[in-house]
Amino acid sequence: MAGSAAWRIGYSSAALAWTVQGWRYGQQLERQARLHADTLNELSQASAALQRIEQDKRLALEQRLQNKDQTHHKELTDEQTKQARLRDRLATDDLRLSVLLAATDAASGCSMPATTATGRVVHGPARAQLDPAHAQRIIGITDVGDRGLIALAACQSYVKEILR
């Protein structure tokens, strides 16, 4: 019995030591799990903050691009309106396009224009009026050129905003 009691005491001591070690090990695991959860939480918060910052940047860029787009659209619309008015004035003979003639007209030998506008005397370089149909074609060509320049400016502005 004495051997059996010693064995029971040894067994109880070992069981008690294992239980205490199990508690310590459990506490260590719990502490590691908490640290791991805290680290994951911090990483998640940092990631969310970065995502908000990038989203704010994207929204700001989209807003700037939208403002630029509105500006260029307004410029294009204004230019088209001006061109339409000019075409209308040419069509109604309210406005006539003219070109400069050579410094001396070989046919007449005179640098004075052959005709003058009513109510005034024109002193200056000789000019010839263009046919209204030709003037309309010239205005159409400049209209296309103006639209191209406005579109080019819009593209350049877009690229500058993206690269900024």
pLDDT at 10: 67
pLDDT at 2: 57
Ranges of residues in the chain with a pLDDT under 50 are: 116, 119-120
Count CA atoms within 13 Å of residue 13 on its CB side: 6
* CA 105 – CA 12 distance, rounded (Å): 130
Please calculate the CA angle 85-77-68 and round it to the nearest 5 degrees: 155
pLDDT at 26: 85
pLDDT at 25: 85
pLDDT at 34: 95
Q: Which residues, other chains included, contact 144 with Cβ-Cβ below 8 Å and sequence gap of 6+?
A: none
* Whether the Cβ atoms of residue 150 and residue 73 lie closer than 8 Å to each other: no
> In this prediction, what percent of the chain has a pLDDT beyond 90?
34
Backbone φ and ψ for 98, nearest 5 degrees, come out as -140, 165
